């Protein structure tokens, strides 16, 4: 029976995720997959589950973190 790469649970209904860089993982839940495969904010370290923002080729969870780290002129909302 397949085993989750994150938690070690043996589960008949696992799924495999393959990222563009070739990294793969077998998981029993989206929670385990997100914890291991999703990017982390370069400023605060939280898991970036949405689009996030990019500044200087680095991923951040929000514009606040991008500004705090890089000084980038970026906002989360148009017109703000």
Quick check: 48 and 38 in contact, CB under 8 A? yes
Contacts of 50 (CB under 8 A, 6+ apart): none
Question: 29 and 2 share a domain?
Answer: yes
Number of domains in the chain: 2
Quote the pLDDT of residue 77. Answer: 79
Residue 79 lies in a domain: no
Residue 80 has pLDDT above 60, yes or no: no
Structure tokens at 6: 């994150």
Quote the pLDDT of residue 64. Answer: 94
Express each pLDDT in 57-78 by its tens digit.
999 999 999 999 999 888 877 7
Q: What is the mean pLDDT of the chain?
A: 94
pTM for this predicted structure: 0.79
Residue 80 lies in a domain: no
- When pLDDT is averaged across residues 43-64 and rounded to a whole number, the result is 94
């Amino acid at each position: 029976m397949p085993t989750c790469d994150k938690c070690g649970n043996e589960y008949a209904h696992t799924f495999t995720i393959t990222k563009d860089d070739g990294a793969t993982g077998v998981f029993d839940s989206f929670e385990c997959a997100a914890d291991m495969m999703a990017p982390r904010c370069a400023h605060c370290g939280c898991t970036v589950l949405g689009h996030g923002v990019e500044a200087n080729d680095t991923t951040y969870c929000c514009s606040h973190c991008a500004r705090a780290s890089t000084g980038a002129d970026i906002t989360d909302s148009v017109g703000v």
